[in-house]
Structure 1
Amino acid sequence: MARLKRTSQTLEKAERRAASISSIDPNLDLGNGLTQPAFSTLIEKMRTRENVYNTALSNLDKFYREMLETERELADMAEHMLMAVATRYGKSSVEYGMAGGVPKNQRRKGLRGESPTPNSQQPSLIANGNGSKNSNQNGNKAVVPQ
């Protein structure tokens, strides 16, 4: 997704104001450095900076897409490298483990009916009388995790 480019409402407002002031006098000088040419110069500077910023965002999007593509290529090649080591030395070999794979003989197998982990919490019944917030419509106690 491309980054949103910036538009400046202040710049748009200043451009409209500069056009209006130019109709009074193209070289209007109000003192203290407030001149039409200085105002126009600052407007142009802002327009240039905004364009440079938006161009930088476009370049950043391009670099990001290129980086993601290279990352995909790298992941693909890393997988191929591991598979090539497995093909040459076998999946149970020391070399396969050295390359980052888990040797076949060291893999854990999940057992059926395995007990839950000790950190998991089991729901418990809270014994409150009928009509409490913890009972359902049938008068049975609701299961509330602790």
Structure 2
Amino acid sequence: MTLAKRSSRILEKAQQRVSGMQTIDQNLDFGHSNNLQNMQQQIEQLRAKLNTHNNALAVIDASRTDIEQLEKSLSVLCENMLMSVAGRYGKDSAEYVKAGGVRKSERIRKSTNTRIKTGAEQAAVKSDETT
């Protein structure tokens, strides 16, 4: 998921207003820094900040993509290493546990336990219904 590039409606509106005001007078000045030159200067500052911001987002997106690729690569490597340990020492060995695996003899299969519990619960419900 890429980060959305930012734009500014205020910047677009200000650019349109500057264009309109320039048709009135190129040196329009109302005092107290209310003039076209100041407005154009602030427009350029905002445009530069937006460009800097969007460039930073692009760098972050590229970095995120690199991180995701490295995570996938590392995940595959970890899985391959664990399978290699299992192949050499067996899935029931102490070495397999040291490498991060769970011994086959200690693995709890939830589906089997769930079926047993569900079967017992259904039997209890049926016996309650018959009595």
TM-score, L = length of structure 1: 0.72
Between 1 and 2, higher relative CO (CA 8 Å, sep ≥ 6) is seen in: 2
Q: How does 1:1-146 map to 2 (within 5 A)?
A: 1-109=1-109, 110=112, 113-116=115-118
Deviation of 1:104 after TM superposition, in Å, equals 1.8
Query: How many Å separate the matches in 2 of 1:14 and 1:101?
Result: 62
Query: How many Å separate the matches in 1 of 2:28 and 2:108?
Result: 83
Structure 1 alignment gaps of length 5 or more: 117-122, 124-146
Deviation of 1:38 after TM superposition, in Å, equals 0.8
Q: 1:25 to 1:77 in 2, by over 3 A?
A: same
Query: How many Å separate the matches in 2 of 1:112 and 1:30?
Result: 79
Deviation of 1:99 after TM superposition, in Å, equals 0.9
Deviation of 1:98 after TM superposition, in Å, equals 1.0
Amino acid at match of 1:52: T
Identity of counterpart residues, as a percentage? 38
CA deviation digits over 1:13-46, x for unaligned, max 9?
A: 1001111112222222210111211110000111
- Higher helix residue share: 2
Amino acid at match of 1:48: A
SS at match of 1:115: helix
Deviation of 1:88 after TM superposition, in Å, equals 2.0
- Aligned Cα root-mean-square deviation (Å): 1.9
Q: 1:32 to 1:112 in 2, by over 3 A?
A: closer
CA deviation digits over 1:88-112, x for unaligned, max 9?
A: 2111110101111111222234258
Equivalences, count: 117
Amino acid at match of 1:73: S
